[in-house]
Structure 1
Amino acid sequence: MTTPDDAPKPSDDQREAAYAERCYRSPAAIGAGVLLLALGGWLGIDAAVRGAGRTPWLAVAGLLFVVPLVVAYTVRPAVWAGQDRIRVRNPFRTIVLPWAAVEAVRAGYSSEIFAGGTKYQMWSIPVSLRARKQAARRQVRASLDDSSQQTSPHAPLGGKPLRSPADQAIDEIRELSERNASREGAQGAPHVKWAYEIIAPAVVGFVALVVIYLVG
């Protein structure tokens, strides 16, 4: 009979696979985007169906212009961090960075990743100064509580430092970058792909709005 001590332990690759393809998104941005899409769709469709004159055309062109932008800035942004690379999907482009190409990851007033001498923002990991201050206050309170319970004044405090969600995400991405940069599959150059499926309809909608306005 196999005891827990005799059970096979997961390898490093298995542990990394369990951590691989972690996705970072902003639930608040997604929620706001869904509400805006619902409100805009209701108003736009109502104007297109019941409007008179050029109103229906303006409503359709407005939807064609606004909907892609709302999707781009709220629902679309996401970051996937795997064993070999990180994929950053921003409003108008997707950046694929092998870990070996990543030079630095940091969170100041925004979440940023550097590769090939270029800075890329990670829109799906918004930095909240308020959340950072709240985490710092909780850390101070926890340290004071731990200190009051220590039998020795020189005993170390337990637990990891409390961090804001954005800072935690940046710490995890930085750790993945440092740990996997030497992997064979993590080599290569940055690759950027523009989101024409977002850009094209927004441009068409904007042009249509201008034309309808000038013609009318």
Structure 2
Amino acid sequence: MTSPLVKDHAYRSPQALIGGVLLLVIIGWLGFDALFRGHGHVPWLALATMILAVPLVIAFTLRPAVFAGPDRLRVRNPFRLITIPWGQVAGLRSGFSNEVVTEGGAKYQLWAVPVSLRGRKKAARRQAKAAADAQRGRGGSGARGGFASGTGFGGLGGFATGTGFGGLRPPEAGSDGPVRADTDKVMDDLREMLERRGPEGSAQGEITVRWAYEVIAPAVAGAVLLAVLLAVG
């Protein structure tokens, strides 16, 4: 009897997605205006700039994602797709950026899960407020103790995933656990999955890295065309 298909959790940054869409709208608006209303070399310069800019905007905003499956971790960065079986993952590290470290010592940055100092500060404020509310609840009669509800996702609501929120959970009322920033919750989820799936036989294998030529090729073509147009005046 075959086991049911388990979908990968897909983590993306909502802020990056929104910013990318807005940038593409602005580039399209300005670019097509120059294409159809410009004179001389202006339409050609606009075309070359669009060919260069659009793939780069997509690469750095819409493309980055982290796919956590039962057997492997796929990291889709701006110009590369790295597939790492869980058995090859030595750890997940958070510093100035979130990274996955392999058993061979290689490090790959998780572009889709950026470190947010602002998010950590907001989580710390929520933690302090929840602790104060809990203290008042223990000291007063009839007051509610524990964490206040709604201390989960602020702003844009955590990370967009292909299966709900990929296991991101706000603290439950009465929980003594710390309030965490959204990106830190994602890293916690990935570490939990590494701990569970790393020793499994199906999670072993080789690391593969594929360059995103579908992004690199048009960007290079646009850069070359733009350089030629600027050179000829």
TM-score w.r.t. the length of structure 2 is 0.80
Whole-angstrom distance in 2 between the partners of 1:88 and 1:26: 13
Aligned to 2:111: 123
Q: Is 190-199 or 107-116 further displaced after alignment?
A: 107-116
Aligned to 2:185: 168
Aligned to 1:41: 28
Structure having the higher Rg: 1
How many angstroms does 1:145 deviate by?
A: 2.3
Alignment equivalent of 1:55, drawn from 42, 45, 49: 42
Whole-angstrom distance in 2 between the partners of 1:197 and 1:86: 22
Where does the alignment leave 5 or more consecutive residues of structure 1 unmatched?
A: 1-12
Aligned to 2:156: none
How many angstroms does 1:137 deviate by?
A: 2.0
> % of aligned pairs identical?
51
SS of alignment partner, residue 108 of structure 2 = strand
Aligned to 2:61: 74
How many angstroms does 1:89 deviate by?
A: 0.4
C-alpha distance after superposition, 1:46-90 (max 9, x if no partner): 111111111111111111000000000001001110110111100
Aligned to 1:206: 223
Where does the alignment leave 5 or more consecutive residues of structure 2 unmatched?
A: 140-145, 148-173
Q: How many residues align?
A: 197
Greater helix fraction, Structure 1 or Structure 2: 1
Alignment equivalent of 1:111, drawn from 62, 82, 98: 98
Whole-angstrom distance in 1 between the partners of 2:50 and 2:118: 34
Whole-angstrom distance in 1 between the partners of 2:187 and 2:93: 6
State the 4+ residue runs in structure 1 displaced beyond 4 angstroms: none
For 2:132, give the aligned amino acid. Answer: L
SS of alignment partner, residue 106 of structure 1 = strand
Q: Does 1:145 align with 2:162?
A: no
For 2:217, give the aligned amino acid. Answer: A
How many angstroms does 1:183 deviate by?
A: 1.4
TM-score w.r.t. the length of structure 1 is 0.86
Kept after mapping to 2: 8 A contact 1:61/1:209:
yes
How many angstroms does 1:189 deviate by?
A: 2.0
